[in-house]
Amino acid sequence: MKARLRFKIIAYSLLLVILLALVIWFWQYNSAQARDYTRLADLKVAQAQLSDYYLKFNTFIIPYCQTPLTLSDCQGKDRQKISLSDLVDPLNTGSYRYDLVYLGEDNFQINFALEIGAGGLKAGAYKMTKVGVSQ
């Protein structure tokens, strides 16, 4: 009788540990995927704001925005201000940053990375330009 009870306790404990590990993995996976979707949404907002800036001033060059720098640090000056300060990567560490690497007369480039992938894109490094996202 004691052996059966001990077996049940071990079996239930093992099942509980497995279930807990699956719940933790699922939570981490969903958190990473949510961060990736947030990244894509942030970059679409940045693309729209930069395109609007281009329509107003006929250039992507923003005064006092010397590249490379993080996207949230690019504010502009006087009437050529742009509101990108709210766009910060959810992790904002290591390669998980929105790096503004190029602002030219007719294009821009923002580098970013995805953790597990979202929106049809796999995990890895990408760049956003005026035409969209590419590797």
**121-133: per-residue pLDDT in tens?**
999 999 999 999 9
Element (H, E) at 56: helix 2-57
Instruction: Quickly tell me which residue has 């005064």 as its tokens.
Output: 63
Largest Cα separation within the chain, whole Å, is 84
pTM of structure: 0.77
User: In the chain, what are the domain boundaries?
Assistant: 2-134
The answer, yes or no, to whether residue 78 has pLDDT greater than 80, is no
Percent of the chain at pLDDT > 70 equals 99
Average pLDDT (78-85) is 79
Q: What gap in Å lies between CA 108 and CA 60, rounded to an integer? A: 7
